[in-house]
Amino acid sequence: MKNWIHTAAIAIAILGSAWLASAAYKYKFRAAETISVTGLAEVDFTSDLIVWSGSFNRYSYELKTAYAALKQDEAAIKSYLNAKGIADSNIVFSSVTTLKNYQRKYDKEGMEISSEFTGYTLTGSVRVESRDISRVERLSREITELLERGIELSSNSPDYYYTRLNELKIDLLAQAGKDARTRAETIARNSGGSLGGIRKATMGVFQITGKNSNEDYSYGGAFNTTSREKTASITLKVDYLAR
């Protein structure tokens, strides 16, 4: 009886091992029955917001004198912007920064031996944010007219943005999903099979580059702000079950 029980236990163990091995093989086989594709979507769009900024300086040995001159420049810049059709609500002046200037003297070994205070440099900055892109573009080119009034103003290139970026991104994801489905169906059909449901979907990097530019894509996602006309793109990696 003991021998019979022992023999039966061994048989059951062998059958169990065989079943587990078979199940593992079937699971592995089924897991391998997938089609992996990457869908792509691109769209051209026009920026709807422009941001221009500039800075202006005044120098004086006396701090109060430099500050008073800088505030006069600020008033003149604001008046100029208003005359160009820029509303007060679109103009922001930042706080003034102050820098003490020194003339330093060095010995033959390059060691500083003395320094003499030569006055203050005060810097103010102005920022214009508007949806009237063409107007601000003209302004950014013409603002140097203030140099003729004795205002030392440095103008930066405008930056361009799009305020409906989240909606754009969602639309692109939907298009990328359709593109991925089409690719996967083509593969399945040409392989004599059919396409099942989605096993996994992973969104790729969202890129914004200048339209018709040769900008390189970034691993973390490019975000162009220098071009008014832009191109947005996104990828979507999808794993489908194959039947």
Task: Write the CA distances from 43 to 87, 169, 175, integer angstroms.
Answer: 33, 10, 10
Q: At residue 212, does pLDDT exceed 60?
A: yes
Query: 3-state SS string over the chain?
Result: CHHHHHHHHHHHHHHHHHHHHHHHHHHHHHHHCEEEEEEEEEEEEECCEEEEEEEEEEEECCHHHHHHHHHHHHHHHHHHHHHCCCCHHHEEECCCEEEEEEEEEECCCCCEEEEEEEEEEEEEEEEEEECCHHHHHHHHHHHHHHHHHCCEEEECCCEEECCCHHHHHHHHHHHHHHHHHHHHHHHHHHCCCCEEEEEEEEECCCEEEECCCCCCCCCCCCECCCCCEEEEEEEEEEEEEEC
Given a cut of 80, is residue 39 above it in pLDDT? yes
Q: pTM of the prediction? A: 0.79
Q: Range with the lowest mean pLDDT among 4-8, 94-98, 108-112, 127-131?
A: 4-8
User: What is the torsion angle, in degrees rounded to the nearest 10, for the CA atoms of residue 188, residue 194, residue 197 and residue 202?
Assistant: 0
Per-residue pLDDT reduced to its tens digit, 150-167: 999 999 999 999 999 999
Condensed to tens digits (0 to 9), the pLDDT of residues 57-78 reads 999 999 999 999 999 999 999 9
